[in-house]
Every structure is written in structure tokens, then in C-alpha cells.
Amino acid sequence: MQARMTNPAQVLPGAMKPILDLLNAAKQGGVPESTMELVHLRASQINGCAPCVFGGIASSRKHGVSEDKLTTVVAWREAPFFSDAERAALALAEASTRLADRADAVPDEVWDEAARHYDEKQLAAIVLMIGVTNLFNRLNTTTRQVAGATW
């Protein structure tokens, strides 16, 4: 496999730093890093972003996500390993990633369940993580970045 080009965030001067600043801001929202990693991983799976799935698994392990969760996050609804709060974050990640799948992209039930588990600052962090993940997914899949390759 070969990438079509260097990652666009590296090609354009000044692009990568603000993206990483958003990612770092999201990590300051008080949500457990393990949950943020699961959110990143699930959105990346949906988008078919091999580099983000690869990197997300490695990062998840560093942040203490169990192998049970890593191997079943793709089927989190049917797996017994996730807390109610993690399930709410994963549902929000899926809805926010699949915006075109329904007229009401993020149904009130999904939002309300997430809001039951997370305060406004934490919700902001999760939404930012989903947004940044989707940005990276789109950059990587469009340019066919290679899983495991370093920038």
C-alpha cells in the first residue's frame, strides 16, 4: 500500500498545530481517557480509517482499555464489557459520525442519554473528539494513508 500524498495537515503550513490543539482541548474536558479512546476508535471504524483504527487501538491500550472492550467495540451494543456512560458516549459517536443516516442526525434520546452521564464540559469534550476524529478520518481515507506508517 502507498499513500496518494503526504497527509494534507502536514502539507499545508500551520494546519496540524490547530488540529492537535483541538484534540488536546478535548482531552481536558474531564472525560476518562479510556472513554475518549473508545469514541475515537468507534468513529474511525465506521469511517474505515485504517491508520486511526491502528493508532486508536495502540493508544487505547496505553490508556488502560481492556482487550475485551477493544475486540468488541465494533459490537458494543451486544457486548457486556461497557459501562452505561461508555455506551452513551459510543451512541453519540455513532450518531455524530453517521449524520446522513437519518433526518434527525443525533436524536434527542441519544443526546439525552449522553447528557445523563456527562456534564456540559464533558459533552463538549466528547463532541470535539468526535469532530477531530472525523476530520482525521477524512484526511487519511481520502489520501489513503497507510496504517502503521509514521508521519
pLDDT band at 150 (very low <50, low <70, confident <90, very high): low
pLDDT above 60 (res 151): no
Residue 1: band (very low, low, confident or very high) from pLDDT cuts 50, 70, 90: confident
Tally of CB atoms within 10 A around 31: 23
pLDDT > 80? residue 15 = yes
pLDDT tens-digit profile of 20-39? 999 999 999 999 999 999 99
- Whole-prediction pTM: 0.95
Secondary structure letter of residue 78 according to DSSP? G
Span 86-95, average pLDDT = 98
Q: Mean pLDDT over residues 83-100, rounded?
A: 98
14 half-sphere exposure, CB direction, 13 A CA radius: 0
Domains of the chain plus CATH, in order, are: 33-139 (1.20.1290.10)
Distances in whole angstroms, Cα of residue 46 to Cα of each of 15, 18, 76, 98, 119: 25, 24, 13, 8, 26
